[in-house]
Every structure is written in C-alpha cells, then in structure tokens.
A and B are shown apart, each in its own frame.
Chain A
Amino acid sequence: DQQVKQNSPSLSVQEGRISILNCDYTNSMFDYFLWYKKYPAEGPTFLISISSIKDKNEDGRFTVFLNKSAKHLSLHIVPSQPGDSAVYFCAVRRGGATNKLIFGTGTLLAVQP
C-alpha cells in the first residue's frame, strides 16, 4: 500500500533555520491531510491539517502547503527548534464515509543546536 510516501527517512537542520518535510500521495479522492509528530514511546500527536479545498494553512511556526495537481504536501517549520526533533508523519483521509487515516512512513527530523 504505497498511497502515501515520505521519501526522506531523515532530515537534519540547524536551529533557527527552516525545516521542510515532504509527502506525496497517489489518490485524488483524499479530502483531509494531516501532520503528526511522534516521540519515541509516545503516540502520534496532531500538529496541523489542511482540507483539500485549501492550499495553505498556518499555525504559529508550522505551515502546511498542499499542491493538488502534484499530489504533494509539505510541512514548513520556521524557525526550527531543538524540541522539534521527532518523527513526523503525514496522514491522509479519503473522502466519503471512512474515518481511517493512511499514514506515510515518517521522516526523522533532527534539529541541531
């Protein structure tokens, strides 16, 4: 099941710089796109989402961009902080009656002080 892909397993960024995490999907029927942050031994924590009718959503240091024509989603973190170091998962929900989320494989972000 390769409906959602995060092609970068890891990313290292200097503190204060921008972190850009990417996600590609295959199905144009997805109606909601989410980013979750996960620390070891904890469950995924919701960060930010965007519906398919928008192309940008911003919440503080976090901005999600959606490019529907390219079927591409990205998360920008500006400025990056050491506490942002975690695994980031993109997740999607297909439109219709289903509530299940389909997750990407995750990107490990390391923010260097």
Chain B
Amino acid sequence: EPEVTQTPSHQVTQMGQEVILRCVPISNHLYFYWYRQILGQKVEFLVSFYNNEISEKSEIFDDQFSVERPDGSNFTLKIRSTKLEDSAMYFCASSGNGRYVEGYTFGSGTRLTVV
C-alpha cells in the first residue's frame, strides 16, 4: 500500500536554529499538508499546498515557517528559527483529490525536540 514517508523520525535542535523536515508524499497525490501535535494535545493543521503554492494556512504558520516542493517528489517544512514551543510531532499528509477525504494519508511523523 502506498505510504507517505517522513525523515528524520526524530530531530533534536538548539533553540534559534533552522530545521527542515522532509516528506515524500504518495506519488500521484496532488495535495500536501503539514500538521503537528504537541505532546498531549490535539493534532493541528498547519498548512496545505497545491499546484506549487500554499492554498491555506493556520495562524500557527507564521513567518518562521515555510514549505516547498523542491523537486517534484519531496515536500519540506522549514522552521527558520526554532523556539522551545515548536517541540512537537510533525505529520506530513497527502491526498490525491482534495475532496476525497478517504485518501488523506498521513506519514509516521517527525518528532522535533528544541532544546
């Protein structure tokens, strides 16, 4: 079964450093997303990306965050200057047809720890 792959599985970084989280979505999917889950809290939407541009973003997704699809297969989330409160599990997701919710597939996540 096709899957969404995320690397690394765990990233530890110093406060103020830049991090890039990587995702390989399902190959024929067109819509890409990042979500995050702070420990003990709910999974929260960050951003959606379609046709090489951001289609929607949450209030969490401020100027410190950016997304990119650099080469047609990878989808990355960059945090420019990490803060302690950025520590969370970050999930990438993709879907083939935005209106087909059953095809919305999540990766296993990257645990980001900011120290």
Binding site for B on A (CB under 8 A): 4, 32, 34, 36, 41-46, 49, 89, 91, 93, 98-106
Contacts and interface: CB of A to CB of B under 8 A. Distances in A.
A103 B9 CA distance: 22
Contacts, number: 60
Contacts of B106: 36, 43-45
Contact of A43 (B41, B42, B98, B108): B108
B104 A98 contact: no
B45 A100 contact: yes
Contacts of B48: 99-100
Contacts of A44: 43, 91, 106
Interface in B1-20: 4, 6, 9
Contacts of B41: 105
Contact of A89 (B33, B43, B45, B108): B43
B95 interface: yes
B43 to A, nearest CB: 4
Interface of B: 4, 6, 9, 31, 33, 35, 41-45, 48, 55-56, 58, 91, 93, 95, 98-99, 101-102, 104-109
Nearest to A33: B101
B109 A41 contact: yes
Contacts of A34: 101-102, 104
Nearest to B47: A100
A83 B31 CA distance: 31
A27 to B, nearest CB: 15
B61 to A, nearest CB: 11
Contacts of A49: 101-102
B57 to A, nearest CB: 9
Contacts of B44: 103
